[in-house]
Structure 1
Amino acid sequence: MPTTTEPRPLLAAAWMMGAVAAFTLMAVAGRMVQGELDTFEILAWRSLIGMAIIAAVLSLRGDWGAVNLRRPGLHLARNVTHFVAQNLWFHALFTIPLAQVFALEFTAPLWVLILAPFLLGERLTRARALSAGLGFLGILVIVQPGAAGISAGALAGVGAAALAAVGFGLTYVCTKMLTGVAGASCILWWMSLSQALMGLACAGLDGGIALPSAAAAPWVLVLGLTGLGAHFCITRALGLAPATLVMPFDFLRLPVIAVVGLLLYAEPVGLAVVLGSALILAGNYLNIRAAGRPAAEAPA
């Protein structure tokens, strides 16, 4: 491995394209199994695949010593929150256009800005407050509260996507709190194990847990691989270049999934989604740029 610390933007961009592809494949795979598996079953099988992959990596590296259970309550809070958020995300994926789901998901970092002062003791600067404001304005444009002609199912899907973003934001905050006592492999192991157990328990409430059919099994495998692969790609990219350069590439997920939704599912992209997405992405980009400035900023 190279020992240089010089940024490598082109390689970082390539890793981020891998993350964009993984997130897109995850959404398509979820749609492919929705008629056969419910959200609990999807998460159960996906988590079991994740456990197998992580166990293999830890065994090959002889790194099981990195798996500890310091702060078990925080692990549990993080994993329950993430489990609920993932279920809401898949529910939204099944009920509203893909571009709408991804646009609302991009508000998760903005929820972190709101929650961090209360849970992490981080200050809310003017730039962060403006970023959050732009993001929530974008939500209002996409959701169009009070608009006529929106079905109850669509409203439930939008609500699920918005709540999922809040859950992802809380998950990020819990992860930040855990990084002081646990490494990435430790966090991912307990996440996969606990969510496999929660998924199997919830899936079995109706008296049975569906096994993926021969047609669905490859897509379930894709779900397991892309879930870990996307975050691995992002981690690699952040190790090669600053976040201010890397994370804007993540915004490509939105136009890519919009094109996929149009081509595969004939989902039109309305003006409200375009304008709302632009506001949400602008809020995220402003936050990334502000985080990269060395100069301190006065609190809001």
Structure 2
Amino acid sequence: MNRLNPATVAIIWMLGTLSSFTLMAIAGRELSYTLSTFEILFFRSIVGLLVLSVLINYKGWVLIRTHKLSTHVVRNVAHFGGQFGWFLGLAYLPLSDVFAIEFTVPIWTAMFAVIMLGERMTKGRSIAILMGFTGMLVILRPGIASIQPASYAVLLGAICYSLAYIKTKSLVGTDSPLSILFYMTIIQLPLGLLPILHEFSMPSLGEWLLITVVAISALTAHYCIARAMQLVDASVVVPMDFMRLPLIALVGFLLYSEPLDWAVLVGGCIMFLGNYINLQSEKRKLSNRMPG
């Protein structure tokens, strides 16, 4: 892989990202037939904690030191809400709908960045937000189609994810990636356990296998996209990430006989275009600041 140019290597890493997100969605859909959303999140945290403990034991427990425990708590309560909405959507909505609504995360992230971090509302960000809302309306079609309650859950989940991303931004400067992932599993584990204590039961072997797929694919998805971003600009990575939408639509059609909804694809394309315009605007702004 070292002999390949950076763009080609980045594409390979993004293929890993797409495959990971797809596997996680399929495993989550299969688990939704027998487990509640809280059970999926709780048992996923257990597997994730085991995997991370092995890695941290190998690399050194000093890596999980933090002076921002309260920020970790806020981040992971929000992230748990995002995951809950996402997995709940997998149980009741077409897979493509879940992924399309999830792509509203950059809209909310941009708004939170202005409100909470004091970042400027640039022209590019304004376009991204406007086109993001337009794409969302095309997908949800209020007043034309009957909006399922699960759609609102996924949308609220996307808002929670964006808040978690804002909090992550304040952690990456001082805490290691392993530390962020470790506290994610530690904090979210009881959040998933408390609601299921009254009807707790151990998963079957088949369910454990699917839970393991969900836990590991979640880790590999974010690892692969981080590696891709180390090699090429975000303006290259984001368009590849949006390939998740047509891919998951095809998977839903082939595995679950879900109809290919033109509104979902059109709305996703509108949101993608808005994000791409914003990325190009940010790229030009950074170029103008560079000396020479």
TM-score (norm 1): 0.91
Q: CA deviation at 1:240?
A: 1.8
Aligned match of 1:135: 132
Residue 155 (structure 2) pairs with residue 157 (structure 1): no
Q: Tell me whether 1:16 sits opposite 2:14 in the alignment.
A: yes
Instruction: Work out the CA distance in 2 between the residues paired with 1:292 and 1:212.
Output: 48
Which AA in structure 2 matches 1:96? Answer: L
1:253 aligned onto 2:244: yes
Matching residue of 1:117: 114
- Cα 1:170–1:296 change in 2 (3 A) is farther
The aligned residue for residue 28 of structure 1 is: 26
Q: Structure 1: any 5+ residue segments left out of the alignment?
A: none
Cα pair 1:248 1:285 within 8 Å, conserved: yes
Instruction: Tell me the alpha carbon deviations over residues 123-154 of structure 1, each in whole angstroms, 9 at most, x when there is no partner.
Output: 11001100111011011111111125x2xxx5
- What is aligned with 1:267? 258
> 225-234 vs 176-185, which deviates more?
176-185
2: CA distance, partners of 1:229 / 1:255: 21
Report the residue type matching 2:75 in the other structure.
R
**SS of structure 2 residue aligned to 1:124:** coil
Find the aligned partners of 1:210 and 1:281 in 2 and give their Cα distance.
42
Which residue identity lines up with residue 166 of structure 2 in the other structure? V
Give, in angstroms, the shift of residue 196 of structure 1: 1.1
Do residues 95 (structure 1) and 107 (structure 2) align? no
CA contact (8 A) 2:81 2:161 kept: no
The 5 A counterparts of 1:187-206 are 187-204=180-197
> Which of 162, 165, 169 is the equivalent residue of 2:162?
169
- Counterpart CA distance in 1 for 2:33 and 2:78 is 25
Are the counterparts in 2 of residues 261 and 267 from structure 1 also a CA contact under 8 Å?
Answer: yes
Letter in 1 for 2:201: A
In structure 2, the gaps of 5 or more residues are none
Matched-pair contact (CA < 8 Å) for 2:124–2:282: no
**Distance in 1, Cα, partners of 2:53 & 2:40:** 20
- 1:279 maps to 2:270: yes
Query: What whole-Å deviation, never above 9, does each CA across 1:46-77 have from its counterpart, x for those lacking one?
Result: 11111111111111122x11212312221111
TM-score for the superposition, normalised by structure 2: 0.94
Question: What CA distance in whole angstroms lies between the structure 2 residues aligned with 1:174 and 1:107?
Answer: 18
Find the aligned partners of 1:84 and 1:292 in 2 and give their Cα distance: 32
SS in 2 for 1:292: helix
Q: What is the alpha-carbon distance in structure 2 between the residues aligned to residue 16 and residue 41 of structure 1?
A: 29
* Alignment RMSD: 1.9
| Counterpart Cα distance in 2 of 1:156 and 1:131 | 26
Residues 147-166 of structure 1: CA deviation (Å, up to 9, x unaligned): 25x2xxx5201111111111
CA contact (8 A) 1:13 1:237 kept: yes
1:289 matched residue in structure 2:
280
The match for 2:176 is: 183
Of residues 170-179 and 287-296 in structure 1, the stretch that sits farther from structure 2 once superposed is 287-296
Counterpart Cα distance in 1 of 2:151 and 2:237:
28
Moved over 6 A (4+): none
1:227 matched to which residue of 2? 218
Pick one of 59, 62, 66 that aligns with 1:65.
62
The 2-side partners of 1:124 and 1:295 are apart by 19
Displacement of 1:179 after TM fit? Answer: 1.6
The answer to whether the Cα contact below 8 Å between 1:135 and 1:283 also exists between their aligned partners in 2 is: yes
Aligned mates of 2:279, 2:260 — CA distance in 1: 26
Q: Does the Cα contact within 8 Å between 2:63 and 2:179 map onto a contact in 1?
A: yes
Residues of 2 paired with 1:104 and 1:282: CA distance?
15
Distance 1:172 1:7 in 2: 30
1:208 paired with 2:199, answer yes
Secondary structure of 1:287's partner? Answer: helix
